[in-house]
Chains A and B, each alone.
Chain A
């Protein structure tokens, strides 16, 4: 086998790119079947209410209406929206439809009709008698005495407080030369994938269901439908051939699929349940808004002596992935920079806001916003370079990481150095927040005595840095597993069956590359089958940045098994010692005889009178965890007249072990940066503070960056090859946006001297703060010059 990989590490075109650019790729909404019914949901106009009665009689009489489901005629089974083993990171707190509604837009009744128009009209004919209940939308208010109880839990907590602690924090704080303490808050960030939530359930004559679903985890969908509806898994098939993005928010189910399945079973007809974009916002999953109270002690040299924090996550009306996220967020707060005395408390709180759930980063972006902002504050206060401060507190091999497993290597210092070179760190102003400029003078800085002190620059620029680390699996919350099966066809081409889903991440492509490399065939000779629970082996799903690391490991092992069987067979047929054989690009090679190359088909193919040989490989991979690191740098420009922030350049340096397909890995980071910049500057799903109604469930009022808004991006990978995944790979998907927001807000500080502690950045606040800061700084300069 050659030392240099032939397929892994190459920027190969994706296996499904042609299907997608031609429009041939079928997404869930592209399937039609005869007699298909359309479902629509009646949604609560109250954020918290008991349902006294539902009168569907008028709606039922509407021609074309086939069935109406309410809490009174669906099974009452308490569930978590996902089956085990993932149910452990959620809570069992939902019913298919409940007699209490808990957020504005919560589903109350579902109609199946012969057309979407008939279903919509039927909704207007349903009468619901509500008894409104008191509401609460803020997590701290929800924990206070006398708050309305949403699920009957103590202090409205979703789970008991998470505590991550070691050492003695009080001792560490007492030993510190300086203590920093501040509170940071983050927004309701929405995944905003382009394909709205949708499923189509097709029953056959025996009641076996085929569920076309836009999901990250087909086996999880099968499992939860089976559990909640009491149907054997052998009678449920879930198919996700292509799906239009998920970013974590299409794992756990809420209402939609259960209702569609019940409708299909009860009518005997296929049912499509498609959410509008507004419903996708309102009834989807958003990132937990989190308040982090963070206190750290440092020596005068910037060495951390203690870290104490409270992470308060607003879960919204149901728990979804709140428990897992609170754990990950708290663990992230205790991690990244070495500290011997740590105490982190994580609280996950029910409120009557829309449901918060899993979204790329899974609680870590909020934690790193707080932590990396405060590290920047420490650097500024102590006069230490921010990069140097990170290095002084770097994790060492052997230190225990947030998943409870030790770090084997830490490439973060390398990421920091490479990123610093790319952004031009040495050009960064030594003293942050000097707002006076030599050029483009506009406006002026006025002292308290009314003296004109000179010009205010029209725009100011700054550079900031932030780091992160993220694990590549959901261990220890879930013992991980992935399965893969490889089969050689008689002509030497290959069928690769994988349990993972491809959300658009390029998983099928990356796994095919690993298979080709290990097995010794050409990438083009592999046919990948994924996303059909009838046809592929069990897998937990695509989340936690696990696919390359875990499923890739399974593919590597399966391909290895197939290759070994192939070589043994070839040795027998060619009468050559097996150790002299290797396979590369579809040909068996014999050591010492470079001209003797044998196509695989000659070994496995049928001959006269003899059938083909069956060569297969099967593997089940159960690794622990791997940590990826990243450093991101932002250069921003702020308009001092409007407070508007423009990101000019992002540099992202990611330690991912090995980029199996560099183009795909870059694509992940570039997309993550898009989401991270939006998180910093403009994305927030806003709810009315009185009624809880979502005010901006559309792409005009919830602002995504367009092609015109994106900055220049430079992405670099540090490929140490030291990850224990296939070919040294680790994860990358979630890391890509974990440090982005603090990199940007640290750059804003460098430019303006204003410290942003709340996301998203608010231009009016920034403007006011800049003006106040400008006056203050100028006054101080006046005072010091007279002292001399």
Chain B
């Protein structure tokens, strides 16, 4: 017993028929081949599945796909344009903030959402914004450095 959903994903309109019990994470990964969002725990604890729903970070494993009907989804694949990286992505590369990379898409999106709302966060605000994204490789140090560097660049440019 399937249901039709219409949503915008990375700026493109998408129309899909899905079973109502499927999560947004599974639909993004299995139906749309957007595998950047990862399944780290499938119960909303780790943040590896983070995508932006109308610009706000959500754990897509805890959302039913049918709940995304009518909404705007941004996945990691939707950042950057024309081969250029989003400043947060570039900062992660430059600061050595990527190790195994499994938490990275979710972490980047959480940071992007923060900076949209608060272009010059303090370090405490950065740490708070990514507190729902677990990382086991980096100790968060270079991730925070990367996001702060984008914050400070914004300050310089403003």
Interface residues of B in 17-72 (CB under 8 A from A): 29-30, 33-43, 45-46, 48
Binds B, one of A1-9, A11-19, A50-58, A426-434: A11-19
Asked if A242 is at the interface of the complex by the 8 Å CB criterion, the answer is: yes
Q: Is the CB of A195 within 8 A of B100?
A: yes
Q: How far is the CA of A24 from the CA of B135 in the complex (A)?
A: 19
Q: Is the CB of B102 within 8 A of A23?
A: no
Q: Is the CB of B141 within 8 A of A713?
A: yes
- From residue A207, how far is it (CB to closest CB) to chain B in Å? 27
- List residues of chain A with CB within 8 A of the CB of B76: 21-23
Q: Is the CB of A667 within 8 A of B142?
A: yes
- List residues of chain B with CB within 8 A of the CB of A17: 92-93, 98, 101
- List residues of chain A with CB within 8 A of the CB of B94: 13
- From residue B142, how far is it (CB to closest CB) to chain A in Å? 6
Interface code A665-686, partner B: CB below 8 Å = 1, 0 otherwise? Answer: 0110011111100000000000
Q: How far is the CA of A21 from the CA of B107 in the complex (A)?
A: 9
Q: Is the CB of A22 within 8 A of B80?
A: yes
Q: Is the CB of B102 within 8 A of A704?
A: no
Q: How far is the CA of A245 from the CA of B131 in the complex (A)?
A: 20
- List residues of chain B with CB within 8 A of the CB of A671: 99, 136-139
Asked if A77 is at the interface of the complex by the 8 Å CB criterion, the answer is: no
Asked if A144 is at the interface of the complex by the 8 Å CB criterion, the answer is: no
- List residues of chain B with CB within 8 A of the CB of A407: none
| Chain A contact residues: helix, strand, loop or mixed | loop
Q: Is the CB of A192 within 8 A of B136?
A: yes
In this complex, the interface size class of chain B, counting residues with CB under 8 Å from chain A, is 35 or more
Q: Is the CB of B100 within 8 A of A32?
A: no
Q: Is the CB of B142 within 8 A of A32?
A: no
Q: Is the CB of B92 within 8 A of A706?
A: no
Asked if B115 is at the interface of the complex by the 8 Å CB criterion, the answer is: no
Q: Is the CB of B108 within 8 A of A21?
A: yes
| Chain B contact residues: helix, strand, loop or mixed | loop
Asked if B134 is at the interface of the complex by the 8 Å CB criterion, the answer is: yes
Which residue on chain B has the smallest CB distance to residue A669? B139
Which residue on chain B has the smallest CB distance to residue A116? B26
Q: Is the CB of B93 within 8 A of A710?
A: no
- List residues of chain B with CB within 8 A of the CB of A268: none
Asked if A277 is at the interface of the complex by the 8 Å CB criterion, the answer is: yes
On whether A276 and B42 interact (CB within 8 A), knowing A23-B76, A506-B99, the answer reads: yes
Q: Is the CB of A21 within 8 A of B93?
A: yes
- From residue A21, how far is it (CB to closest CB) to chain B in Å? 4
Which residue on chain B has the smallest CB distance to residue A664? B96
For A707, give its contact among B34, B100, B105, B131 (CB under 8 Å).
B131
Q: How far is the CA of A543 from the CA of B84 in the complex (A)?
A: 35
- List residues of chain B with CB within 8 A of the CB of A242: 100-101
For B75, give its contact among A23, A32, A193 (CB under 8 Å).
A23
Interface code A167-202, partner B: CB below 8 Å = 1, 0 otherwise? Answer: 000000000000000000000000111111000000
Asked if A759 is at the interface of the complex by the 8 Å CB criterion, the answer is: no
Interface code B80-116, partner A: CB below 8 Å = 1, 0 otherwise? Answer: 1000010001001111101111111100100000000
Q: Is the CB of A244 within 8 A of B35?
A: no
On whether A504 and B139 interact (CB within 8 A), knowing A22-B80, A277-B43, the answer reads: no
Q: How far is the CA of A390 from the CA of B24 in the complex (A)?
A: 56
Q: Is the CB of A698 within 8 A of B93?
A: no
For A18, give its contact among B77, B79, B85 (CB under 8 Å).
B85
Asked if B127 is at the interface of the complex by the 8 Å CB criterion, the answer is: yes
For A194, give its contact among B38, B93, B140 (CB under 8 Å).
B38
| Of B75, B77, B99, most A-chain CB atoms within 10 Å | B99
For A503, give its contact among B34, B46, B100, B126 (CB under 8 Å).
B100
Q: How far is the CA of A503 from the CA of B135 in the complex (A)?
A: 14
A-B contact pairs, 14 of them (CB 8 A): A21-B104, A26-B35, A29-B35, A194-B136, A244-B100, A245-B100, A667-B96, A670-B142, A672-B139, A673-B139, A698-B41, A698-B45, A699-B45, A704-B136
User: What residues of chain A have their CB less than 8 Å away from a CB belonging to chain B?
Assistant: 11, 13-14, 16-27, 29-30, 32, 191-196, 242-245, 247, 274, 276-277, 503-506, 663-664, 666-667, 670-675, 698-700, 704, 706-708, 710, 713
Given A22-B77, A23-B36, A671-B136; 16 other pairs, CB 8 A cutoff: A21-B101, A22-B85, A194-B103, A195-B100, A196-B41, A245-B137, A503-B100, A504-B99, A663-B142, A667-B99, A670-B139, A698-B41, A704-B136, A706-B131, A710-B141, A713-B141
